[in-house]
Amino acid sequence: MMNKDSKIYIAGHRGMVGSAIVRNLESKGYTNLVFKTSKELDLRNQQAVEDFFKEEEPEYVFLAAAKVGGIHANNTYPAEFIYDNLMIECNIIHSAYKYGAKKLLFLGSSCIYPKFAKQPIKEEYLLDGQLEPTNEAYAIAKICGIELCKFYRRQYGCDFISAMPTNLYGINDNFDLETSHVMPAFIRKFHEAKLNGDKEVVMWGTGTPKREFMYVDDLADACVFLMNNYSNEIHINLGTGEDIEIRELAQIIKEVVGFEGKIVNDLSKPDGTPRKLLDVTKLNNLGWKHKVGLKKGIEKVYKWYLNSECANENI
């Protein structure tokens, strides 16, 4: 268990996930938090990461730093997605071992699972089929992170654990239409369409794929819970256990934003994986369950978005 004064390093503290973990830790009274911006510490640089760990010697590490993006970004920049993520996780995990971190939590992604995995997806379905081609580079990097934690645990006895979140959304999300995921992309599209008086908003693909969405502050709470209550080489799924069709999601966001036009499909764009619903039985059996419902979460994000630079500056 982490003590309130334990030295805790949050890698990626400015991102949506990392910033939520910081908020959660601070709300629970943890006082000795360590983080660096990407300008202060390039996590792809092995020597820089090792120097940081040698100087700081953090006791607990939340590895939330990653290069992330939606279908378009993954398809367009696969080399960057595999290289950057491999370097980040290799450098941090090895330095955590080398400088005696008590525990590390590695955050992966539900895209590690096969494209046509049985639903809901159990942890043991990893490497049980072909990956979704549109995010294969990112998925392979994340699978490597899981394996790194597993084998450092086996060989060196490191208490390194891995958690696989479902699709996340929340405060500090990325609203850039070139690189964002579906939820923030919809929020921005509907918001700008409302402001501009547009009659329609375009939705990629058929809208029939189903996705599970988890509010990022729920995810952060689950991460802190696991750091204190879970120790196993098998990764654990983090999600809500509930999913929704993309077209239904679009309708909810349309209503929250107050856009009155139509939603039209661009069938030239890919759908991606047909369905991704995580089996969260293990997580629930440990005693943790999500609290924020989907519509309530979207309302929270849109309220934040309206007051952010994203909306004010149109990115």
Phi, psi for residue 106 in degrees, rounded to 5: -100, 130
On whether 206 is known to bind a ligand per the annotation, the reply is no
pLDDT, greater one: 169 or 177: 169
pLDDT band at 187 (very low <50, low <70, confident <90, very high): very high
Q: Are 251 and 258 in contact (CB under 8 A)?
A: no
Over residues 228-243, the mean pLDDT reads 98
C-beta neighbour count of 158 within 10 angstroms: 21
Percent of the chain having pLDDT more than 90? Answer: 86
On whether 18 is known to bind a ligand per the annotation, the reply is yes
On whether 109 is known to bind a ligand per the annotation, the reply is yes
Dihedral, 259, 265, 268, 269 alpha carbons, nearest 10 = 50
Say what the pTM is. 0.92
The structural domains of the chain, ordered by start, are 8-169+214-241+277-292 (3.40.50.720)
Report CA-CA distances (Å) from 76 to 47, 71, 88, 133: 29, 8, 20, 12
Q: Are 186 and 141 in contact (CB under 8 A)?
A: no
For 20-35, write each residue's pLDDT tens digit.
Answer: 999 999 999 999 999 9
Token pair for 282: 């293990």
On whether 167 is known to bind a ligand per the annotation, the reply is yes
Q: Strand 244-245 and strand 210-211: pairing?
A: antiparallel
Q: Which listed residue (97, 138, 215, 305) is catalytic?
A: 138
On whether 166 is known to bind a ligand per the annotation, the reply is yes
Phi, psi for residue 216 in degrees, rounded to 5: -65, -30
Query: Is the Cα dihedral 288, 113, 24, 6 positive or negative?
Result: positive
Report the distance separating Cα 219 and Cα 166, nearest Å.
9
* Active-site residue flag, 156: no
Which residues partner with 276 through β-bridges? 211
On whether 181 is known to bind a ligand per the annotation, the reply is yes
Token pair for 181: 């995921």
Phi, psi for residue 236 in degrees, rounded to 5: -130, 135
